[in-house]
Chain A
Amino acid sequence: MHNDAVHITPYRTHLWVLVTLLALTFVTITVTWIDLSALTVLIAMVIASVKGYIVLTYFMHLKYESSLFRVFVFMVLAIYVLVILFTFSDYLFR
């Protein structure tokens, strides 16, 4: 059994994704030049997450896979976020 409906991503889409990712990289570098102390870390991590989301969605093709894939990825990331929260709540409030 093969491909009920193959989705072919146009070259153009990949190029736009690349341009967006490069632009976001540039924004991150600019933001870290302007020292905003604690806020810098937050902004850099938010931008990195946006870039990660774009890579997962377009380059890793999650947008066009069955929703099963997206549910799995979401659950793994949710578990990881929980681990971070639990670890930090331990470190900060012990």
Chain B
Amino acid sequence: MEHRDDIGAKLGMWVFIFTEILLFGGLFLVYAIMRNNYSKEFHEAAHHLNAFIGTINTVVLLLSSATVAMSITAVQKGNNKLAVILLFATLVCAAVFMVNKYFEWGHKIHIGLYPGSDLMMTLSHGQVMFFSLYYFMTGLHMFHLVVGGIILTIVMIKVNSGAINTGKYVLLENGGLYWHLVDLIWIFLFPLLYLIT
């Protein structure tokens, strides 16, 4: 009989998630301090963000988290076919998120709002701080989204081939945990950057 430890695998994944929480936690702390120091400038700068695109991306991410969670249920019930469909839906959501981000960032770069631009040089220190944090935090989040997409693609292929099945699916669970982490970070990023102006 194959020897493996699913609890240990999941515990390891959680330890990794803790390091991610502290990584983003540090950035949220910088945001909080800077917002405290430059509340007026943050207020002005946040008006440049597109809350509509932000809202769509929030809905898309929540949806993708639900489909990943449901794909675990499908595998547990032995329905790998449905699990593949649900994982594919998750990847479609990730792609929609990326396309939205492309238009969002694209517009800002087009009007000259990006780190080091001529326009940025004319802004106050607090506004520059806001946009730097905006690009860094959403950028790092997007990087995690891409990595999560790659992980879930591998998981989807394994579910399709039957390598992940009713008796053995800890890789799917851990991939799901990573994806939910991406969702979790966005839950805090969205109101802080887009809504509270």
Measured CB to CB, the residues of A under 8 A from B are 1-3, 6, 8-11, 14-15, 17-18, 21-22, 25, 28-29, 32, 40-41, 44-45, 47-48, 51-52, 55-56, 58-61, 65-66, 68-69, 72-73, 76-77, 80, 83-84, 87-88, 91
Q: Is the CB of A91 within 8 A of B195?
A: no
Can you pick out 27 interface pairs between chain A and chain B where the beta carbons lie within 8 Å of each other?
Answer: A8-B73, A14-B66, A21-B62, A25-B190, A28-B191, A29-B51, A51-B187, A55-B180, A55-B183, A56-B184, A59-B66, A59-B180, A60-B177, A60-B184, A66-B7, A68-B11, A69-B10, A69-B11, A69-B14, A72-B14, A72-B15, A72-B18, A80-B21, A80-B25, A84-B29, A84-B32, A91-B37
Q: A15-B66, A52-B184 are in contact. Are A22 and B59 (CB under 8 A)?
A: yes
Q: Is the CB of B73 within 8 A of A10?
A: yes
Interface residue count on the B side (C-beta < 8 Å): 48
Q: Is the CB of A59 within 8 A of B65?
A: yes
Query: Can you list, as one digit per residue, whether each of B155-197 has a CB less than 8 Å from chain A (1) or not (0)?
Result: 0000000000001100001001100100110011011100111
Q: Select A52's contact among B51, B68, B187, beta carbons within 8 Å.
A: B187
The smallest C-beta distance from B164 to any residue of chain A, in angstroms, reads 14
16 new A-B pairs (CB below 8 Å) besides A11-B70, A18-B62?
A: A1-B5, A2-B4, A2-B6, A3-B6, A9-B69, A9-B72, A22-B59, A32-B195, A32-B197, A44-B191, A45-B191, A59-B66, A59-B176, A72-B14, A73-B18, A91-B33
A94 to B167, CA, bound (A): 58
Q: Is the CB of B29 within 8 A of A55?
A: no
Q: Select A80's contact among B22, B59, B73, beta carbons within 8 Å.
A: B22
Q: Is the CB of A87 within 8 A of B21?
A: no
A50 to B162, CA, bound (A): 37
- For residue B192, which residues in chain A have a CB less than 8 angstroms away from its CB? 44
- For residue A58, which residues in chain B have a CB less than 8 angstroms away from its CB? 69
Q: Is the CB of B62 within 8 A of A25?
A: yes
A25 to B63, CA, bound (A): 12
